[in-house]
Amino acid sequence: MFGVALLGAGLYPKEAYLPALHAISVSLVAVYSKSLNTASEAVEEAKKLSGLVSPSIGVYSNEQGGDGDVDDLLKRDDVKVVIVSLPTLVQPSIVLKALEAGKHVLMEKPMAKNIAASKALLDEYEAKYQPKGLVLAVAEQFRYDAGHEKARQIIASGGIGTLATVHARIWNLVNPGNKWYETEWRKKPEYMGGFLLDGGVHFIAFIRYVAGEEIVETASFARQTLDHLPPLDTVQAVLKFESGALGTLSMSFASVKNDYSYVFIGSTGSLTVTGEAGGTRLVVEDATGGVVSDQVIAGTDTYKELFSSFIRSTESGNEDPRGSPKQAIADVAVVENICTGGGTIESYL
């Protein structure tokens, strides 16, 4: 069994990570959180999942009373893999500590606060740790979703002909009290874009993955609409893809009107992707607007597939492109570009 350490034990790791780790039969040997209470609560939750928790599990925090801090955790020989789910500003330094300790690392998105910090992390990994056979991956779960994969296959197989335009609307309202808002580092973000980065990388990842090509240029307007969502909460952008296809992106975390829809229009038809209770709805139409197919792809445990893929990568040494840090940087590059008025986007692939 692989010995796994979880660094970060907040709401999302407890809700999504623990069941997925249990499903792939690994051994949770250590949990770290800034708060001893939070780390201890995560361990208690994990113990409810039969066989997940190692008898020698350690609880680590910055508060006196735990077994020690991150440095002590990383000295454990039974920790082979580290999963990092910490605030955006904290992650890069912790990831490098884990790599220096000889651990494989799966980190949450976004990689860092901006392109410069993301690139610095990638450069150090490629220069010092990748040659040692260590794997660094980024947990962008949208690339592991069954509905998203089916949408990608429809376009890649020519199901709508040659891609011509893409239109995306992601409208949501994040207010105080929202579980994703109620963390201090999100309330007062010290990173580029605020929720447009933290949440927006998902939707950029989706567009790039399903379209199967890169966004190479944008023009955009971005602003902060609500006082509690600094520094930006809304962006309207036009997109240019590497093939010459064009698109529009309307993304807001300050919209009283909710929407989650993508339309991919090709030379012979279109694909509309929307969220559906329990899954993703995919509607393919022909050039006359006739419905060719209308299906709902049931939601799957994306983290189960993500974690399984990562473990396989550490065993084989073969990177899964879906978790590649270069893909994660490419997501951040588009977000940074649309948050700053647009322009040509540098390729990191």
State whether 75 and 182 are in the same domain: no
> What pLDDT was estimated at residue 73?
95
State whether 184 and 103 are in the same domain: no
> What pLDDT was estimated at residue 329?
97
Query: What CATH number did the domain enclosing 293 receive?
Result: 3.30.360.10
C-alpha span between 256 and 238 (Å, rounded): 22
State whether 153 and 53 are in the same domain: no
> What pLDDT was estimated at residue 69?
87
State whether 213 and 124 are in the same domain: no
Sign of CA dihedral 30, 31, 35, 36: negative
In a domain, 294, yes or no: yes
> What pLDDT was estimated at residue 54?
93
Number of domains making up the chain: 2
State whether 150 and 294 are in the same domain: yes
> What pLDDT was estimated at residue 250?
98
In a domain, 340, yes or no: yes
Query: What CATH number did the domain enclosing 32 receive?
Result: 3.40.50.720
> What pLDDT was estimated at residue 67?
65
In a domain, 349, yes or no: no
> What pLDDT was estimated at residue 127?
98
Contact 299, 281 (CB under 8 A): no
> What pLDDT was estimated at residue 301?
84
State whether 304 and 194 are in the same domain: yes
State whether 20 and 157 are in the same domain: no
> What pLDDT was estimated at residue 66?
61
In a domain, 250, yes or no: yes
In a domain, 316, yes or no: yes
State whether 148 and 77 are in the same domain: no
In a domain, 257, yes or no: yes
Domain limit, last residue, from 93, 116, 139: 139
State whether 127 and 161 are in the same domain: no
Contact 189, 114 (CB under 8 A): no
C-alpha span between 175 and 179 (Å, rounded): 9
Domain limit, last residue, from 120, 139, 158: 139
Domain limit, last residue, from 123, 139, 155: 139
* Rg, C-alpha atoms of the chain: 20
| Residue the block writes with tokens 């939070």 | 38
Q: Which range of residues forms the domain containing residue 224?
A: 142-344
Neighbours of 40 (CB within 10 A): 17
> What pLDDT was estimated at residue 300?
72
pLDDT < 50: residue spans in the chain: none
Relative to beta strand 163-173, strand 215-223 is: unpaired
> What pLDDT was estimated at residue 71?
92
In a domain, 321, yes or no: yes
Closest to 11 in 3D by CA, of 51, 49, 41 = 41
State whether 163 and 131 are in the same domain: no
State whether 152 and 116 are in the same domain: no
> What pLDDT was estimated at residue 343?
98
Is the bond preceding residue 231 a cis peptide, omega within 30 degrees?
yes
> What pLDDT was estimated at residue 238?
98
State whether 97 and 151 are in the same domain: no
